Amino acid sequence: MTRLIIAVAGFALLAAAQLLGENPGYQQDPNWRAPSEAAARPNPLASKPQAAAGGRKLFIRNCVECHGSDGAGIEEKHAADLQLPMVQSQSDGTFFWKITNGNSRRGMPSFSKLPELQRWQIVLYIRTLIHNPETK
């Protein structure tokens, strides 16, 4: 009986936590802005485009879950379309800051657990995502 109560309590806990974890409809968060100093940081791997291959691997492992394999964003997840010009026009430093800090209000986790260079590799790969209207 005790085991049954524990199982039911655990299940109810996970279900309740999921409801609280729901992400509202995606829209640009006007308050999610990198400080000017962070936005101005250059990508230390900019002269090493070959590092984008590692960035692709990291993107698949960490970002595809919400942004999709082409970066167009999964609607159900309300995730940003990384191909959009309004997104691509942001600086490398801004991408790095956003990957590092996340945005808890929109369900974007912080990826500060990844080493700095790996976060810059992801930025490098995001730059290769090109908008293709035929695939949309």
Partner 1 sequence: MQLSCKYVARALWSSVFAISAVSASFAQESPFFVTYTHHMEEPGNLDVEISSTSGVPRSGQKSYFAPYLELEYGATAQWTTELYLEGQSTWADSTVFTGWRWENRYKVLRREHWINPVLYLEYEQLNEASRIQKEIEGEGPDVSSPNALLTPLHAHELEAKLILSSDYHDWNISENFIATKNFSESEGVEFGYAIGVSRPLATLASGENCRFCRENFIVGAELYGGLGSTLGFGSHDAAQYFAPVLSWSASDNGTLRFSPGFALNKQDSPVLIRFGYTYEIQNFGSNLSKLFRKKP
Burial 41-65 (b: 16+ CB within 10 A, else e): eebebeeeeebbebbbebbeebbee
- Closest separation between CB of residue 136 and partner 1, Å? 23
Binding partner 1 (rule: CB under 8 A), the pick from 88, 90, 91, 100 is: 100
> Can you tell me the distance from the alpha carbon of 77 to that of 24, in angstroms, rounded to the nearest whole number?
9
φ/ψ of residue 103, rounded to 5 = -140, 95
Which of 121, 123, 126, 129 is in the footprint of partner 1 by CB under 8 A?
A: 121
Q: Identify the residue among 8, 28, 33, 61 touching partner 1 (CB under 8 A).
A: 61
Q: Indicate whether 105 belongs to the interface with partner 1 (CB under 8 A).
A: yes
Nearer to partner 1, 69 or 110 (CB): 110
47 binds partner 1 (CB under 8 A): no
**Residue 117 to residues 28, 45, 54, 134, 136: CA-CA distances in angstroms?**
26, 8, 10, 33, 32
Which residue ranges make up the site for partner 1 (CB under 8 A)? 6, 10, 13-15, 17-21, 23, 50-51, 53-58, 61-62, 65, 76, 100-105, 107-110, 112-118, 121
